[in-house]
Amino acid sequence: MKPIVWITRKLPEEGIAPLREIAEVKMWPSEEQPMPAEELKQAAGEADAMWVMISDQITREVIAEAPKLKIIANLAVGYNNIDIQAAKEKGIIVTNTPDVLTGTTADLAFALMLATARRIPEAEREVREGKWTGWSVNQLTGMDIHGATLGVVGMGRIGEAVARRGIGFDMRVLYHNRTRKPETEEKYGFEYAELDILLKESDFVVLLTPLTSKTKGLIGKREIALMKNSAILINVARGGVVDEQALYEALLNKEIWAAGLDVFETEPVPTDHPLLTLPNVVALPHIGSASIRTRNNMMAKNAESIAACLQGREVKSQVK
C-alpha cells in the first residue's frame, strides 16, 4: 500500500501532482475554510505525512493521534502553530519554507509602510466615495519615508531584506535582534540598538520576530509609549507579538501616527475588532507571502520535503 499524505487545504493540482506518483493523497476540499479540529485528528490518525497550513493548530493532542506520522510540512516560515516538542518526542520531522518568501514578504512590509505613511487607503476611499471635492494644502498629508529612520525588530532573512530596501529610500536603519550581526553592519551601515532605543528613535518600527514565549506581547503599552507621536508600527510577524488593546488605545489617542497590520492575534480578525474602526490602521488578511511565484515555490518546497521523507532521502528545511 502507498503511504498516505493528508493535505489540510485544497491546493492547486500542479502543486501536489508529484506526490500522487508515490503516495495516496487525501485533501480537504475547501480552499478557505480550515479543517475542524476533530477532522484534523482523524487525518493525523491515518497519515504518513501531513501538509498543513499556518492556520492549522497541530497540537500535542493531534500528534498523539498519529501513530505512523513521519513528517509535518508547514506552508509557512513560522511554525508556532505546531507543537515542535511533541513532534520531536515522537520522532516526527517538521519542515517549513525558508528563503523562498523573503523578498515577497519584505515587499509587503514596505507596501504597508508606504500605505500608512501616505494614507493611501484613506485617499483611495475618498475618491471612490465622492468626497474629493477639491485641493487644499493639508489634504491627506502624511509622513515621508525617504530620509526617515527605520527600526527593524527581528533581523533574520526578511528583516535584512526590509533593511536593505530602506537603503534605497535613504533611510537610517536601526535593528534589534537576539544576536548582533557585525558583518551586516559593516556591509550596509545598519546600526544595532537595544529595543527601547530603537523604539524611541525610529520613525517606522517593523516587526519581524517569530512568535515565541519570549516575544509574545513584546510590544505593549510601555513599549508603544516610547515611540514618537509621528511613528508608524508595521507588523508582518505574528499578531501575538503586539498587545492589540494597547495599540488600539495608542492609535485612538494619537500617541503614534498609524499602524500597518498583516497579522492579528485572532485570524481571521473579527469584523468588530476595535482596530478596524480606526482610519489610521491599514489592515491586511495575512498576505505577506502572497505572490503567485512565491506561493508556488513554497508548495514545491513542501512537496519535495514530503517526497524526500517518504522515499528515505535527506529532508531539507527541517525545523530544529
Nearest Cα neighbor of 235 from 275, 270, 272, 201 is 275
Which amino acid is residue 263, in one-letter code? V
Strands of the sheet containing 71-74, edge to edge, are 24-27, 4-7, 49-52, 71-74, 93-95
From residue 125, give the alpha-carbon distance in Å to each of 44, 118, 121, 132, 176: 45, 13, 6, 9, 36
What backbone phi and psi angles, to 5 degrees, belong to 101?
-110, 10
Contact 173, 203 (CB under 8 A): no
- Alpha-carbon distance of 67 to 46, in angstroms, equals 8
Catalytic residues: 238, 267, 286
- Alpha-carbon distance of 63 to 7, in angstroms, equals 15
Nearest Cα neighbor of 98 from 152, 156, 55 is 156
Nearest Cα neighbor of 13 from 25, 3, 23, 2 is 25
Is the Cα torsion angle 98, 185, 143, 118 positive or negative in sign? negative
- Alpha-carbon distance of 262 to 286, in angstroms, equals 5
Contact 150, 204 (CB under 8 A): yes
DSSP state of 98: -
- Alpha-carbon distance of 270 to 123, in angstroms, equals 24
